[in-house]
Structure 1
Amino acid sequence: MLEFKQLTYFKEVAKHKSVTKAAEEIHISQPALSKSIKSLEEELGTPLIIRSNKTTDLTDAGKTVLEYTREITNLVDEMKLTVSDLTNLSVGQLNIGLPPFIGSLFFPEVMKKFHHNYPNIKLDITEYGGARVVKSVEEGEFELGVAVLPLDERVFNVYPIVKEKMKLVVHKNHPLVSQNEVHVKDLRDEEFIFYHEDFALNQIIRNHFFHVAGFEPKILFKSMQWDLMSELVAANLGVTILPESICNRLFTKDIKIIDLEPTIMWKLAVITKKGKYISNAGRKFIDFILTDSL
């Protein structure tokens, strides 16, 4: 008989693309996990994974089972949340996806205040790049996430929390340093310290700034850390574009911060998937962050 535990184990193997890594993550032995997956395959009458020495890929049947498994586990999680809310409104657990840029800027103080107000609600925070946060909220891995707008509001409920300008950051000896404002067309020949593809800002700035001006930026380095990006600029290795609140934290004398034309806005929002049940803990967090000043 097919068991729910088998599906959750299979989901972990698919996530990590490795029986060994999945076994370590869920704290069971590799032989026990392999036996569970084999039993599931026998129950369904078809192989679900392609086994090799380096990685574990899914068969076509495995990909179909994974989609159903996600739906089933999401429904079970939703059931648990609903029952928990009905029986005990003072406790709960909230899974949040948070991009590293955003987390380091705004959320330590927010989390501190929220925990003070709701000490029995556990916050389980995972740091992903913005694009992955959005995907994970859509797939049900996180109940809510923090993401960069714009997003498809047919898929997500969007609760805006931050809106600020993006700024150009250059070395103090850069030819543009004397200007108070720089137009995008003047950046055509610059070498950029840019965002990793996991960050929503990678595509947002490309599509709504560079491509509109008719060119593809020359990217020298990509990073997931704003402090490294600014340090590379300070070392005169290129220019970058950062949110104003991050620029306000840059204390090196080797850089200059300049306004951009046209203006690029950095807009952040808490997001949840439309049609998905939001727990009492989730609703409390959304209400709290919308009323608390970031």
Structure 2
Amino acid sequence: MLERFHLEVLAAIKEQGTLTQAAESLNLSQSALSHSIKKLEGQLKTPVWQKEGRSLRLTNAGEQILTLANRVLPQFKHTEHLLRQIATGEMGSLRIGMECHPCYQWLLKVIEPYLEKWPNVDIDVKQEFQFGGLGALHSFEIDILVTPDPLYKPSLSFIPVFDYEHRLVVASSHPLAAQAAVLPEQLAGEVLFTYPVEPERLDIFSQFLNPAKCTVKRHKTIETTEIMLQMVAAGRGVSALPGWLVDEFAQKMPIKSLRFGEQGINKQIFLGVRKGEEHISYLSDFITQAQGIA
């Protein structure tokens, strides 16, 4: 009974608010749109919308259909896009979402040789998902998610690409710089700079400070890695970043990294993809190349 057309109509009604605007967005007449929904309501034996003045409000049944539309329509569009590419001889496109803010330098090392090998594949890096890309992957807005914190779901696969150690970053002149490792209580008087991520998702809190019931003097967020490390180098505070990234910046800045406790915080970077798509040739090769660059 339910067809794709009905899903598109309900989605348009929710987005546009009125029958007139919904019909225009779908290039239909109001009568054709209204007739189709009345026929559906007859089959379902329940209304899917109610008129409130010039506007329309979805009923509980309509909201249920809309939920299905929000889940299914992006998959239709994604598959149709792939089919158009096949029909026109295009190889495809690869939309990468970043949930690992400091991973851009690493990503550049992967992309450069990949572009040479796959000249017919377009690459787009979606920065807006750097602090929460799981939903974007699930809703077909991106094809690959780069993340240090996979959230396993039946519809997604997460492939580890490299290991790293999360480390504390201090200025070379900082009193802690003489140590190889830091204890939680030693950060009580420090200003901590991090990316704008919820504290519960930050490893320095979840794996180091919180278990020891410790905290820092103040927590400030900065979006740019370079600015963050300049603040650290100037003695304004400390930060927590991947060791490989700190090693790169330490060659030109007066900073040093320390281990978190005796055991350290060991992490992995993962590439998240939708299950079943990891075998697409150009996507699979991107994963292979990424695993070769640590």
| Same fold (TM > 0.5) | yes
C-alpha deviations, 1:223-278, integer Å up to 9, x for none?
22221211111222211111112112224554332222141123101111346686
C-alpha deviations, 1:157-201, integer Å up to 9, x for none?
1111121112211233322222222122322332211221269x9
- Evaluate the alpha carbon distance shift between residue 108 and residue 3 of structure 1 in structure 2; reply closer, same or farther with a 3 A threshold: same
Name the CA distance, whole Å, in 2 between partners of 1:87 and 1:255. 53
C-alpha deviations, 1:133-157, integer Å up to 9, x for none?
1231123321221111353265531
Matches for 1:269-280 after TM superposition, within 5 Å: 269-274=270-275, 279-280=280-281
Q: Which amino acid is 1:242 matched to?
A: L
Name the CA distance, whole Å, in 2 between partners of 1:105 and 1:66. 40
SS at match of 1:250: helix
1:207 aligns with 2:206: yes
CA deviation after TM superposition for structure 1 residue 119, in Å:
0.7
Confirm or deny: 8 A CA contact 1:155 1:273 kept in the other structure.
yes
1:233 maps to 232
- Evaluate the alpha carbon distance shift between residue 107 and residue 145 of structure 1 in structure 2; reply closer, same or farther with a 3 A threshold: same
Confirm or deny: 8 A CA contact 2:7 2:68 kept in the other structure.
no
Pair member with larger Rg: 2
Matches for 1:22-33 after TM superposition, within 5 Å: none
CA deviation after TM superposition for structure 1 residue 283, in Å:
2.8
Runs of at least 5 residues in structure 1 that lack an aligned partner in the other structure: 15-30, 52-57
1:145 maps to 145
CA deviation after TM superposition for structure 1 residue 112, in Å:
1.7
The size of the alignment, in residue pairs, is: 266
Confirm or deny: 8 A CA contact 1:143 1:272 kept in the other structure.
yes
- Evaluate the alpha carbon distance shift between residue 293 and residue 249 of structure 1 in structure 2; reply closer, same or farther with a 3 A threshold: closer
Worse-matched range after superposition: 208-217 or 151-160: 151-160
1:287 maps to 288
- Evaluate the alpha carbon distance shift between residue 204 and residue 153 of structure 1 in structure 2; reply closer, same or farther with a 3 A threshold: farther
CA deviation after TM superposition for structure 1 residue 129, in Å:
4.9
CA deviation after TM superposition for structure 1 residue 121, in Å:
1.2
1:36 aligns with 2:37: no
Provide TM-score, normalisation by structure 1: 0.72
1:244 aligns with 2:243: yes
1:19 maps to none
Name the CA distance, whole Å, in 2 between partners of 1:102 and 1:2. 43
Name the CA distance, whole Å, in 1 between partners of 2:22 and 2:231. 45
1:113 aligns with 2:102: no
